[in-house]
Amino acid sequence: MLITQAEIDDAAMVLAPVMRRTPMVASRVLSERSGSDVWLKCENLQRTGSFKPRGAFYRISRLTPEERAAGVVAASAGNHAQGVAWSAAHLGITSRVYMPVGAALPKLAATKAYGAEVVLVGETIDESLVAARAFAEETGATLIHPFDHRDIVAGQATVGVEICEQMPDVGSIVVPLGGGGLLAGIAAAVKARRPDVRIIGVQAAQAAAWPTSLQEDMPVAATHMSTMADGIAVALPGDVPFAHVRELVDDVVTVDEGQLATALLLLLERAKLLVEPAGAAGVAALMSLDLDLPGPICVVTSGGNIDPLVLSHVTTAGLTASGRFLTVTATIPDRPGGLISLLELLREQGASVVDVVHSRVADDLQLGEVQVTVSAETRGAEHQEAVRAALADAGFLR
C-alpha cells in the first residue's frame, strides 16, 4: 500500500517548525540547453546539507517513549547519518551510526559533531546496514532505515509538497535516485496533486540497480558498484520505495561518471551551488540525455556534502570531460631547447600549461628521446582538437 495523503500532510505539519523550506533557483544555462524553464530545488541547502533530515526526523518523532529510551541506530555513507544524528539530538535521543570504512571524512566528522556515536564497518552502505540491524536486535534500539520505511518516504514527500507550492505550473521533476526514498516521496506527493507531471529518477550508471529491478518487477541487487556518487550508491532498492516508483514514476535513466562531474562543475561555476556528485545526478541527466520533458522543469539537487579532496578530483574530471583540461604525452629530443619548443607551441595554440612531467624510462623511447606528459587548460573540445592536431603536425605525438 502506498503512503496516503494523510501521512504526507502529517509529515508536513511535524516538519514545518524544524525543516528549512529550501529555495527554488532558476538556471538560465540549463534552460537554454533544455529549451524549457529549469528551476533547481536546492535540498543541498537543507539542514545538515541534504534532504535526509526530513525523513529521519519524521520517523524518529513517531517513536514511542519506550522506543526513544532505547535509542536509534542507522547505517549511511554520510547524509542519512547526519540526518539521523541531528534529528535524534534535537529530540533528545541517543544515536549510533554505522558508516562504511571509506566514508568521506567531512561527513564522518559532521555526524559525530551532531552527537552520534560513529562505528566504521564494511565497504558499502549495505554492509554497514547489516551491522546496524544486528545492533538493533541486540540492544532494542530502533533501526532508522535510510529509505525503506513508510515514515521515511512520507518525510521525503514534503520536498514534493514544496515543489508543488513553489512551482504550481511544474511540468517535469528530475530526481537523483539511490535507495528510492526521495523519488518515491516526491512522486507520491506530486502525483496526488498533479498526475500529469512527468517524474524521472536518475541513477549513476556504475551503481544502477533500478533499471534491472523495474524490468524484473522486483528489487534486484546491483552486481557492481563503483561511482563517485556515494550518496546514491545503493545495491538493492527498498521494498517500500520500489512499490511507489513502479507505480508512480514515469522513467528511470542513468548517467556516467563524466556526466556527473560535468554537472557538478556547472553547478559550481554557473549556479554558485556546492552540490555533491549524487546531488548533481538530475542536472547531469538534463545536460547530457535527450529526455524530451514537458516544462517547466524542476531538478532536485539532493545534497551538498562533499569532501574537499574529492571535490578537487571531481572538478578536474569535470574540466576534462567538458574539454577544458587536456593531458597529452609527447616525445621530444633529449637536448637543450626540446622542451621549450613544445611549450612554445602550446603557447601559440593558446593552451595554458598547468603541469609538466619528464620521463626517460618509457618502453617505447629511443636513445636521445624524452617523454613529457603535459597538462594544460583549454577552451573546449574544439580547442583541444586543434591543440592535438598542432602537436601531431609538429611531430610531438606518435
| Structure confidence by residue, pLDDT tens digits, 336-348 | 877 888 888 888 8
Secondary structure (3-state) at 351: coil
Predicted pLDDT at 132: 95
Asked if the model's pLDDT at residue 320 lies above 80, the reply is no
Question: Buried b / exposed e across 49-82, counting CB within 10 Å, b at 16+?
Answer: bbbbbbbbbbbbbebeeeebebbbbbbbbbbbbb
Predicted pLDDT at 20: 96
Strand pairing of 251-255 and 297-301? Answer: unpaired
CA atoms within a 13 Å half-sphere pointing along the CA-CB vector of 353:
17
Q: Residue 329 — pLDDT band, cuts 50, 70, 90?
A: confident
Residue with cell 544515536: 95
| Structure confidence by residue, pLDDT tens digits, 241-265 | 999 999 999 999 999 998 998 999 8
Q: Residue 365 — pLDDT band, cuts 50, 70, 90?
A: low
Query: In degrees, to the nearest 5, what angle opens at C-alpha 304 toward C-alphas 300 and 308?
Result: 150
What angle in degrees, to the nearest 10, is found between the helix axes of 5-15 and 150-166?
A: 80
Asked if the model's pLDDT at residue 27 lies above 70, the reply is yes
How many other C-beta atoms are found inside a 10 Å radius of the C-beta of residue 238?
Answer: 23
Phi, psi of 373 (to 5 degrees): -100, 120
Q: Residue 363 — pLDDT band, cuts 50, 70, 90?
A: low
Asked if the model's pLDDT at residue 44 lies above 80, the reply is yes
Q: Contact 270/9 with Cβ under 8 angstroms?
A: no
More confident residue, 62 or 358: 62
Q: Contact 13/61 with Cβ under 8 angstroms?
A: no
Secondary structure (3-state) at 313: helix
More confident residue, 51 or 231: 51
What angle in degrees, to the nearest 10, is found between the helix axes of 79-90 and 105-113?
A: 10
Q: Pseudo-torsion of CA 202, 207, 209, 212, nearest 10°?
A: 90
Instruction: Look over the chain and give the mean of its residue pLDDT values, rounded to a whole number.
Output: 91
Asked if the model's pLDDT at residue 362 lies above 70, the reply is no
H or E segment and range at residue 80: helix 79-90
Asked if the model's pLDDT at residue 214 lies above 90, the reply is yes
Predicted pLDDT at 306: 86
Query: What sign results for the dihedral spanned by CA atoms 344, 345, 347, 353?
Result: negative
| Structure confidence by residue, pLDDT tens digits, 110-136 | 999 999 999 999 887 778 889 999 999
Average pLDDT (3-10) is 97
Predicted pLDDT at 56: 98
Q: How large a percentage of the chain has pLDDT more than 90?
A: 64
Q: Residue 94 — pLDDT band, cuts 50, 70, 90?
A: very high
